[in-house]
Structure 1
Amino acid sequence: MELIEIRRYPVKSLLGEFLPVAVAGDRGLEGDRLWAVRDADGKFGSGKNTRRFRRMPGLFGLRAYTLGPLHVVELPDGRRFDTEDPGVHPAVSEVLGRPVTLAREAAVPHHDEGPISVITTAGIRALTALTGGGPDGAAVDPQRFRANLLIGTPGTGHPEDDWAGRRLRLGADVILRVMRPLTRCVMIDMPQDAAPARNDLLKTLATHHGMTFGVVATVESPGVLHTGDACTLL
């Protein structure tokens, strides 16, 4: 197995960035979901409504990425704001059509279910086979799942379903402890970047796979990850 992609989302539920290299520590990838959009009631922007999160249409029109030591939010019109800039709050509020602020993570992590999310190419192939791919027959785009790590695995199916409780080594130093499958929400059907809106992915997972796709893991041994790293179950 091989680490194919690393993705980081400096602001929860915004578009994120590809990384060739990342540092994995106790709270996950360094800088991942470090910020979140918070509404006037204190709930955080997401694709779903829960006790902590509120669905906020328009979040995928914004992108967050790192620029040296800064975390940057880019608006649809190309304007860019440092997350520490007071001007980011009214700018993002205007885009979303509601009063919001950007909130840095405090005692409670901004992650939904755990520090690091993992999907596999075998899982992507299985879902593509069930749905016939996209409108043009192309494979389901992995970015829809907003996973931190995409691992290349042979065949089709969901090999990661059997990883719960096991340790996964990536590269020379990093060891993850896989916790459980990840339950999915309507966000996977929403348009993201070049991936158009769909209405079948969540229904398909609900029918065929218990509404889960991929797994969530904790970091047991921290270190540096590189795309191309070998991945081994221990």
Structure 2
Amino acid sequence: MLGVVERLWRYPIKSTGGERLDQVAVESRGLAGDRLWAVRDAAGKFGSGKNTRRFRRMPGLLRLGSRYPNGLGEPQLLDTAGQPVADSDAYLRAYLRRDDVALAPEGEVSHFDQLPLSVLTTATLDWIRRALPGVPVDERRFRPNILVRTPPDTVPFVEDDWLGKTAVIGEGARIEFVRSSERCVMVNEAQPDLPHSSLVLKKIAAAHDNRLDALARVLTPGHIAVGDPLMLA
């Protein structure tokens, strides 16, 4: 057994704050509803913390939140105070000071940066906290889907040992660990109760070649919940 599911996170709108879950379905695409929506501009690029071929940097999105209030469907956008907004598109245009943005569901172009599931351990998270004693850090900076509680003597970056292996979790879900996330400036960005700090990315770059977590693909859909064991298959 690698550990136990400590927390589950889903991000209904890409690059915004997510919602904590007690349980969730795992589909072939990833957690049901995860990053299924994004802020899209007139050029078809998605709001993110960086500029790439698919993504457009839109500073401030991480200060907002998102959730599915009634199961799946169109998500609810939350303002900087955590309150739902009446008109998501109107709020985003005023907040981002752009008149060409709107919420859009995923189409042919994936909203995922890399792979659909990000798994992070408490061993790695606790190491980062110790390495940055003056910087508020929790898993929200790294946006995992699954935070795994590992045994007390587990070494940091144990996720590296899982790459190339398969694991089972919850009711029938089977995943394959593929590689680590290559981190960007989003880990530095301000979120509610988490101030901006350039030290976070610098520390990850120096200690672990800018890599953090284990990214996985879904081999067999299933259902997972907080408290489920994560076990090598």
In structure 2, the residue matched to 1:95 is: 95
CA shift, 1:75, in A, is 2.3
2:51, 2:57 within 8 Å by CA — same for their partners in 1?
A: yes
Unpaired stretches in structure 1, ≥5 consecutive residues: 82-86
CA shift, 1:151, in A, is 0.6
Instruction: Indicate which of 77, 80, 88 corresponds to 2:85.
Output: 80
2:26, 2:32 within 8 Å by CA — same for their partners in 1?
A: yes
Instruction: Indicate which of 139, 143, 160 corresponds to 1:146.
Output: 143
In structure 1, the residue matched to 2:232 is: 233
2:63, 2:190 within 8 Å by CA — same for their partners in 1?
A: no
Letter in 2 for 1:67: P
Question: Structure 1 residues 39, 222: closer, same or farther in 2, change over 3 A?
Answer: same
1:125, 1:156 within 8 Å by CA — same for their partners in 2?
A: no
Structure-1 separation of matches of 2:91 and 2:139: 29
1:23, 1:29 within 8 Å by CA — same for their partners in 2?
A: yes
1:123, 1:157 within 8 Å by CA — same for their partners in 2?
A: yes
Comparing 60-69 and 216-225, the one that deviates more: 60-69
1:75, 1:92 within 8 Å by CA — same for their partners in 2?
A: no
In structure 2, the residue matched to 1:134 is: 135
Give me the TM-score of the superposition, normalised by structure 1: 0.91
CA shift, 1:79, in A, is 4.3
Question: Structure 1 residues 195, 167: closer, same or farther in 2, change over 3 A?
Answer: same
CA shift, 1:221, in A, is 1.2
Give me the TM-score of the superposition, normalised by structure 2: 0.92
Unpaired stretches in structure 2, ≥5 consecutive residues: none
Q: Does the alignment pair 1:51 with 2:53?
A: yes
Where do 1:180-199 residues align within 5 Å? 180-199=179-198
Comparing 175-184 and 189-198, the one that deviates more: 189-198
Question: Structure 1 residues 200, 116: closer, same or farther in 2, change over 3 A?
Answer: same
In structure 1, the residue matched to 2:223 is: 224
Identical amino acids, percent of aligned pairs: 40
Structure-2 separation of matches of 1:94 and 1:14: 16
Structure-2 separation of matches of 1:105 and 1:57: 21
